[in-house]
Structures are given as structure tokens and as C-alpha cells.
Structure 1
């Protein structure tokens, strides 16, 4: 079949000396971190402005390779991707394009070979040499620089057209409509029109730098990312009801959404309101007793993610000199809690703001059985109760889920901004994204401390979705950066180094970030049997007692929420898993 593949492989002269235009390109790698990337992050590192693969000695494609790939958080359709790379002798890597997160990108998406063709110890087939579309199109050889030298490469994907340019020479120019596999295997990924970009770790070290991309379908991307719903009093979220529109515009399977609705109704007997939003459209809205627009009863621990988000806004404003106090997440938290002085345990002085949010502070973990609510004297350790007076562990050495820690975070916000937590949250986050209904919890502290809002709050399902949608859009709402982008990026990974299980539910501690949690990191060896199976790596969520949830998945352009105002356990992760599974296969 290979002799009849309709592919043009051209040899052209080098690009002009002035170089191609960089207009419209944006960086995919900041040179300092793996922000914006997901997957096998432990096998990659940012070093001296380079993205470096830490090679396994003998990875096996079937067993090791899926865990080695580093995938973009976002998906891309039509684009020009440019980067520089340097190979060790005999190194082999690969570039995934239009690939889903699961499966081997060479088959379920496309893989552009990145390999030391001349230095490879074995004999390569034509479709395995550098620049080839693996298994599909063989690249022209002779233009790869020797190992140890930097190469420049450009990959263009425009509808069915894929072109690879190496060091100024076009080595692949293919029409996927006419091309077909030449390795004798199925390549369903050739039909994909959208997916992730990824670096596929194989053997030996490879370094990349100056990684940038220009999207060609800018109108589509602008329309997709440029929608922000008006407040519900002015019309609210756009909504799809017809199965054909749900499938065509929302990219969701109407039958699976119907099954999800049935599951929600049968999952418990609580009153609730739930919404599923894809591409900015409500594709599923289920109400039983609660209004998704107006019921603002408590959302339990969902409040923790919102408090952390509000505190990030406070920190960003403080760094710009817009607040009475300056604060970063690495600062000692009790520097901003004067009501706690003198400290009931001297170790509290070492707790950072970050540790209040990721449950590594040692402040009265729920595993102790202590009450979550009380007076401020009780919360701050001045009521005579040893459980709140003394830390359960040294800060940063263990993981203990702590409601008390987030109550402390609300006080930090008040000191930094000079405004009560509730007032600042409404001004800085709720109103800018169009929320219209909320409720706050308050603790009393008598004449000594006074009455202050804790982090606890309530909000309807539709308004919760606005906050998740703002996170989904990298913290932007219309033309305003409401939530700092750095915060959105940092929530995509654990924000601590603890490895021992969380104390109450024995959860994987790598689940916890800045208030938000990483459900894909859940392993089933916990007391709740919660699992991250089937949930994308880039998903963030925050469950709350009573079957309440806020979640967003950037790679699927998906937001889901559920509000009950109740308490008790529920299958939080199953809701998210089923919603993700309802996304049409072509959109994953």
C-alpha cells in the first residue's frame, strides 16, 4: 500500500534569512515550570529555560510510555507549532498532535517522530525516521543536525494538511485525506480534528526550548473562549435542549447525559440542583426541590476552593500595592492573624498561607474529631481546648484535612485587604463574574475579637458554575483578569511535598492543591474508595459534604456543579467521571 500513498514530500530551499514571522505566536513553556502541562510530570523538568526529559533506561511502549508523556492542558485544532530541540546520541522522543489524553498518541492521535535517525543503534523503517508521521508518512532525511546540536522545527496542522519543516527544509507535506497507514496498523487518530499537544518520552535525554504556538482557527477559538454569560437576571447562561444541538454544538452525547440525569436522581434522596456546562452552554440542568438560580444554602467544603480563590485575588492585589498589607502564599500566615496572639502553640508561627489551603498546616485536622465550628476563641486555640490549641503535626510534615485552616485563611484575607472576607469576596470575585445570590457564615468572638465571616458560604449551582468557568478561562471574565492566572496554573498540581496519606480518609495527599483538589490523583486505597479513574489529569474539583461539587476540566471545556445545602457523603467523583464520559469521543 505504501507505494500508492498520495503524499507529497518536498525538498525546498531554506526559509528566508530574516526568518518566519512570529506574529500571533504564544509561548507554551515558561522556562521555569511545567505550568500548563500534565501527565508524567515527574519524568520532565524545567532546567535553565529548557524542557528536559529525564529518560528511563529501557522504557517499554506497552507498559512505560503512557506514563512518560507530557501533555498540554489545552486542546488545539489548527495551528503552527515551533520549537527547538537537542538530542543525546541515540535519543528517541516524539511530538503528539491532536491526541487525546488516554492511549498511545501514535495511533489515537498523531505522533511526529523526534529521533536521532543517524545515531539510532538499530535499523529504522522509513516511517520511523525523524519528522515522520509515525506509521503513516515517511519524512525526507538528511537535514537533522548531529546529536548535541540544536535543531529548529515547525509543525503545521491546518484541517487535513500536515507539514513538518526542519532547519528550514520541508521534510513532510501531507494531505491526511489521501494518506493512510503504511505500518499495517489502525490509526483512528488521523480522523481527529482537535486534541492535545504532547512530548512523548522514550529513550535517552532530549531538551526542548522556545516552544510556541499560533492558532489558525482564531475565529473559532475566539468565539469559544470569548463567551461569558450575563447575570441570570439579564438572561444568564445560554442553554441547549435539543439532542442534535447538544451533540453538534455542545459536543456531548445526549443519551449519556440522559443516563447522567437518571443517575443524579437515583444517587441519593436529597433535594438538589445540578448543572453541566460544555463550551459555554448548559447541556444538562437537573433540579429537585432546589433552584439552580436562587438556592444559596451552604455548600459545605466547596467553600474552601472559593476562599482560596478569593485569597489569591487578595495576594495579587497586595503585590501591586493595592491593599494595606502585602502577602504571598509563602508568607507566614499568622503574621496576618493578630487575633491569634499570643500563639497557643509556637509552631503556628511557621505555618505558611499556602499550608492553610493545602491541608498541611497541622491546624486541628478533622481526623481529631473536633468540632468544625465555634467561637473565634475556639478556632484560634484560646478556648482551653487542646485540639485547637496544639498542632497535630509540624507544619508541612503531614496532611490532615482541616476546615479550621480555611477559617484562618478568611482572617488572613481580612487583614491583607482591610475589608471583611465576605465584603471582599463579593467585590473582587462574585460580582465581577455575575453571581447574584450568596450566603456567608459568621463566628463570634465577643468584645475581644468581634464578629467575622469565616470561609463558610452558600451559593446556587448556576453561580458556582460562574466561578468554575472563570477558572476554566484562565481567570479571565470578558476583558478582565479577575482571578490571577498564576493561581489557576498552580492549582493544576499539588502544592506541597507530603507523601503520607491524609489523616482522616487516607486520601492520596497529592490530591490537594490551593483549596482545589485534583481528582485524577485519587487512588482507591482510601476509606471512601474514591478513585480518579476515567477523570482527566487537568481536572480540578472541590467536593462538599451533602453531595455538593464544583469542578472544571480545561481539556474538555467542561464545568459541573451540584448544590444541596445538606450534609453527608456522596459519590462525588462518579458525577465528574460520568460527565466527562458524556463528552463526544471526537472532542476528547
Structure 2
């Protein structure tokens, strides 16, 4: 004789529904965060880090600026990031101003959170550095490394092979970037076409057709780089629809 456990039967019937609703909610949340932009949105209120998450001992707000700071007394052991949590944009233009004091930083976009506890992300990065060697390049953090140097337009095919065209001299473009002073950064992500502009000049671009490596959406974040003590500042951070 077959005996039925009524409680177990009800549990078996109900649990898939609960899990299904959770999955749907997560999918809806992800879709909402990656929804196309219809108007410009300010990502920073100038007063606090609402909408952002990162190490509280490293990131703060001063004089209407987001400030990342490391010290010699408490050096960081790995790159860490301040992550924007309210959206994961796909196609967009991001404009902001930055100022760096020492070493290296960057602006992550269409990136993925790799370690939530340590605030580690990987993905496309618009590079910033005090030495002015890498500022403006397109680098893939935790991925393929340098995708385009300053002055390069790079097409990456489906196999990861690169076709590189030089549209300007990288050193000359660097003369228009001013370490230790405020600079304008504009990042354009339109489909697989990615462009970096600093102080109005195109400094690098990539057409990324490598579908198993490329990214169509993801988080924005600011980097503090392992190494010597540093300070980096960001302000006037606005996300725009692609023009």
C-alpha cells in the first residue's frame, strides 16, 4: 500500500512556486537596472555615498567630491572599488571630472562584481594614472588586460584577434591630460563600440566582437589601486543616453 505524506506533498508543490517567484524578482531587478536610458541621471548627490558601496575607511565625500584615499600606515592588499549599485547600464555616455594624486585608478563600466565582501570587480576600465602613461587606455580588469592603448582604434574579432589602427600619437594625446588637476572624462558605450574621451579628445576606442569575453551591461565603479598611498577624486558624475 502506498502511503502519502501530505505535508511533504504540499512542500514539494509549493517550493518550486516560491523559488520561481524569487528568480522572477531577481530577473526583473536585473532588467530594470539594465533598462535603456531615456534621460540624463546624476549618480552622485554631492553630500554622501547614497547609491554607492565600498570600504568605508577608504571612500568619503569632501567638498562635493567622491574621494578615495589610501595611506602608508594601512596599505591595501588588492585593488578595491567603490561600486554604483542603483543601475547596471548597457548603452550610455558617462561624463565626470577626475583628479588623481599619485599611482593609478580607473573607471569601471559594464563590469561584474567578483567579490562583494572585498568590493572587487572585473570588466572594462577607463584608465587613470598619475604618471600619465596609461590615462585614457581601455583596460579589462581581471580579464584580457590592455585592449587599446592611447591613440589606438582596435577591432577585436570573435576569436580575440586584434586589428589595430593608430589614429593619433599617444604621447601627444597625453599632453592634453593633466595629472594632479581636474580633467573631464567621457565614456561612450554603444553596442560593441566603446570610446574614451579626455578633455574633449578621443583617446582610445574598441570594437569588441569577442562575444564570449565582451560585456553588454554591468556595474560602474571607481578604483583604488594597490601600491603607494594615493588620493583620487571624482565629481559631476552624470549618465546620459547615447547621442
User: Fold conserved (TM > 0.5)?
Assistant: yes
Q: 1:196 to 1:56 in 2, by over 3 A?
A: farther
The aligned counterpart of 1:370 is none
2:188 match: secondary structure: strand
Query: What is the match of residue 81 of structure 2?
Result: 69
Structure 1 residue corresponding to 2:188, chosen from 153, 156, 164: 156
1:347-386 aligned at under 5 Å gives the runs: none
Match of 2:222 in 1: 199
User: Hey, what's the Cα distance between the residues in 2 that align with 1:52 and 1:144?
Assistant: 23
Q: Which segment drifts farther, 96-105 or 157-166?
A: 96-105
TM-score by length of 2: 0.63
Match of 2:111 in 1: 99
Query: Measured at CA, do residues 77 and 143 of structure 1 come closer, stay the same or move farther in structure 2, by a change above 3 Å?
Result: farther
Q: CA deviation at 1:59?
A: 4.8
Query: Are positions 1:78 and 2:101 aligned together?
Result: no
Q: TM-score, normalised by structure 1?
A: 0.27
- The alpha carbon displacement at 1:143 in A equals 4.0
Contact 2:97/2:236 (8 A) holds in 1: yes
- 1:110 alignment partner in structure 2: 124
Cα distance change of structure 1 residues 41 and 75 upon mapping to structure 2, 3 Å threshold: farther
| Equivalent position SS for 1:200 | strand
Distance 2:176 2:130 in 1: 8
- For 1:378, the equivalent position in structure 2 comes to none
Shift of 1:130: 0.7
Q: Per-residue CA shift, 1:19-38, capped at 9, x if unaligned? A: xxxx9321101110000001
Does 2:102 align with 1:133?
A: no
Q: Distance in 2 between matches of 1:53 and 1:36?
A: 16
Given that residues 99 and 234 in structure 2 are in contact (C-alpha distance below 8 angstroms), is that contact kept between their aligned partners in structure 1?
yes
Structure 1 161/56 Cα, relative in aligned 2: closer, same or farther at 3 Å?
Answer: farther
Mapping of residues 414-493 of structure 1, within 5 Å:
none
User: Where does structure 1 lack aligned partners over 5 or more consecutive residues?
Assistant: 1-22, 119-123, 181-187, 218-588
Give 1:192 shift: 1.6
Which structure 2 residues correspond to residues 48-67 of structure 1 after superposition, within 5 A?
48-57=63-72, 59=75, 63-65=77-79
- 1:143–1:166 Cα contact (<8 Å) kept: no
Indicate if the aligned counterparts of 1:163 and 1:170 stay in contact, CA closer than 8 A: yes
**Is 1:172 equivalent to 2:186 in the alignment?**
no
**Counterpart residue number, 1:316:** none
- What is the CA deviation profile of residues 511-558 of structure 1, one whole-angstrom value per residue up to 9, with x for unaligned ones? xxxxxxxxxxxxxxxxxxxxxxxxxxxxxxxxxxxxxxxxxxxxxxxx
Q: Which residue of 2 aligns with 1:470?
A: none
**Using the alignment, how far apart are the partners of 1:147 and 1:136 within structure 2?**
22
Q: Measure the CA separation in 2 of the matches of 1:215 and 1:55.
A: 34
Tell me, yes or no, if the aligned pair for 1:144 and 1:151 is still in contact at 8 Å: no
CA distance in 1, matches of 2:46, 2:138: 27
Match of 2:177 in 1: 145
Task: Could you tell me which runs of 5 or more consecutive residues in structure 2 were left unpaired when the two chains were aligned.
Answer: 1-37, 140-145, 152-169
Whose helix fraction is larger, Structure 1's or Structure 2's? 1
Deviation of 1:177 after TM superposition, in Å, equals 1.6
Distance 1:24 1:79 in 2: 10
More strand by share: 2
* CA–CA separation in structure 1 for the residues paired with 2:187 and 2:194: 7
1:211 aligns with 2:232: no
- Please state how far the C-alpha of 1:216 moved relative to its aligned partner: 4.0
Provide, for residues 324-358 of structure 1, a one-character-per-residue CA deviation record: whole Å limited to 9, x for no partner.
Answer: xxxxxxxxxxxxxxxxxxxxxxxxxxxxxxxxxxx
Aligned to 2:42: 27
Work out the CA distance in 2 between the residues paired with 1:59 and 1:27: 31
Question: Alpha carbons of 1:145 and 1:172: their partners in 2 closer, same or farther (altered >3 Å)?
Answer: closer
Residue correspondences, number: 170
C-alpha separation between the residues in 2 aligned to 1:53 and 1:95? 12
Mapped contact 1:98–1:194 kept (Cα < 8 A): yes
Q: Residue 86 of structure 1 contacts residue 150 of structure 1 at CA under 8 Å; is this kept in 2?
A: yes
Higher relative contact order, chain-length normalized (CA < 8 Å, sep 6+): 2
RMSD (CA atoms): 2.5
State whether residues 43 and 53 of structure 1, in contact with CA within 8 Å, keep that contact through their aligned partners in structure 2.
yes
